Amino acid sequence: MLQAAEARSADKSPKPSRSTGLGRVIIAVYGILALAATVRGVYQILSKFDEAPVAYTLSLISGLIYLLATFSLSSAKPKAWLLSLWAVSIELVGVIVVGILSLTHPEIFAHPSVWSGFGQGYGYIPLVLPIVGLWWLYRNRSERHA
């Protein structure tokens, strides 16, 4: 009976934050991608938008999604987990859809975007990161989201 009580009290101990350990690395990578993609998108839109408007707009959109993911993943607020789930899921869908379209319809992407070729220009990190991020979110969900 004592062991059962100890097991119950051990289960009620607070879970580590999503922003510790591997979570900190994931957040850092999202932050780097957010900075790189947002700056790239803004520069491309301001300097040569007419050359490849779809690709440059997608670069900026991806940067904004990375910013949202970075801040929501690092937040402990109650709705942050759900916002992180949406941001990372949208990123995964975006990189897959844009990756496919950039291979099947290269004329749309006169110049590459962050997600072109499944993130080839960024070492495929845009493809791998949301998979790791979704796994991390699943692993660190609260009972309310289970």
Stretch 48-58: mean pLDDT, rounded?
91
Q: Where are the alpha helices (DSSP H) in the chain?
A: 2-11, 22-48, 53-74, 80-104, 125-139
- Mean predicted lDDT score pLDDT of the chain: 87
Q: Which of the residue ranges 11-20, 32-41, 104-113 would you say has the lowest mean pLDDT?
A: 11-20
Question: Alpha carbon of 139 to those of 18, 74, 97, 136: distances in Å?
Answer: 9, 15, 26, 5
At residue 96, what is the residue type?
I
How much is the pLDDT for 44?
93
Whole-model pTM over 0.85: no
Domain boundaries, the chain: 21-144
Q: Is 69 left (phi over 0), alpha (psi -120 to 50) or beta?
A: alpha
Q: Which residue has the higher pLDDT, 26 or 112?
A: 26
Q: Which of the residue ranges 8-17, 57-66, 69-78, 135-144 would you say has the lowest mean pLDDT?
A: 8-17
| pLDDT tens figures, 93-130 | 999 999 999 999 988 887 888 999 999 999 999 999 99
* Local confidence band at 133 (pLDDT 50, 70, 90 cut-offs): very high
* Local confidence band at 142 (pLDDT 50, 70, 90 cut-offs): confident
